Amino acid sequence: MSNHKSTAQIAAMRAAGLIVWQAHQVAAEWARPGITTAEIDAAVETYILAQGAAPLFKGQPGRVPFPATTCISLNDEVVHGIPGARALRAGDIVSIDIGCRLNGWCADAAQTHPVGSIPADRQRLLTTTEGALRLALQMLRPGLRWSVIARRMVQYVEEAGCAMVAASSGLTGHGVGRELHEAPVVPNVVTHHYPDFTLAVGMVIAIEPMVNLGTSRVRQLADGWTIVSQDGSPSAHFEHTIAITAEGPQVLTAGPAGQGWSMPS
Ligand code: MG
């Protein structure tokens, strides 16, 4: 398939992914009570620009172009939250999604942080969502159909008493390359909405489970971007950009020594 990446192209994407990882470390330092989501966004944007990279989300087309470098989604917000004047409070969970382009290549990753100490059910939500991503990473291999992994992720999430966000929301993972969103669509559930595909060496995909503590249903706010759980229950989001290589999956948005929040241990 034409959008499979060479070893050299994957290395270029790794350089972009490392900046995304480092930008997440910047964001994590700021994710504490009293800090506004606009302050986190500004710190991440400054960091990305200082590396000679470009933020990917700013200007993404919608009813209004996305106005910020990061998507920051609090509590019942699933994804695509717009940074602003709201300050974080202890007990919140905050999902931060960051993408950048470096030398023409993209990378994309998200993480949900606890703010201060959080209730046990919210911690279970975070652990479960990150666990679903880790599970997918451990299963990735050439020749496997993606739906096998999606089915297992959903089973894992439901066994933990949580719900994977429904496919009808249109919220999915995706191929990554020169563009933020490339083929294939990588749904988090088994669905007829998108074609199934077979994993192959050279594929680079963003896997991004979105999990709610309550209903799997979501709705969009009047700002044209923010997606919230329909019942107001808390929601979490973890994402890595991952290359399928002959040596196994490579997490392109992991840390310099391969560390990341969802690496196999
Ligand atoms: Mg993504």
Using DSSP, state whether 142 is helix, strand or coil.
coil
Rounded to the nearest whole angstrom, what is the distance from the C-alpha of residue 115 to the centroid of ligand 1? 23
Rounded to the nearest whole angstrom, what is the distance from the C-alpha of residue 77 to the centroid of ligand 1? 16
Rounded to the nearest whole angstrom, what is the distance from the C-alpha of residue 247 to the centroid of ligand 1? 24
Helix or strand (DSSP H, E) at 121: helix 120-139
pLDDT confidence of residue 167 = 81
| Other C-beta atoms lying within 10 Å of the C-beta of residue 230 | 17
Rounded to the nearest whole angstrom, what is the distance from the C-alpha of residue 114 to the centroid of ligand 1? 21
Sequence-separated contacts (24+) of 26-30 with Cβ below 8 Å: 27/70, 27/96, 27/98, 27/111, 28/111, 28/113
Rounded to the nearest whole angstrom, what is the distance from the C-alpha of residue 97 to the centroid of ligand 1? 8
Q: What are phi and psi of 56, to 5 degrees?
A: -95, -25
Rounded to the nearest whole angstrom, what is the distance from the C-alpha of residue 139 to the centroid of ligand 1? 19
Rounded to the nearest whole angstrom, what is the distance from the C-alpha of residue 205 to the centroid of ligand 1? 9
Mean pLDDT over residues 110-114, rounded?
Answer: 97
pLDDT at residue 265 greater than cutoff 50: no
User: Given 3.90.230.10, 3.40.50.720, 3.20.20.60, 3.90.470.10, which CATH number is that of 7-251?
Assistant: 3.90.230.10
Work out the angle between the directed axes of helices 37-50 and 7-30 (0-180°, nearest 10). Answer: 140
User: Using one digit for the tens of pLDDT, what is the confidence trace for 63-101?
Assistant: 999 999 999 999 999 999 999 999 999 999 999 999 999
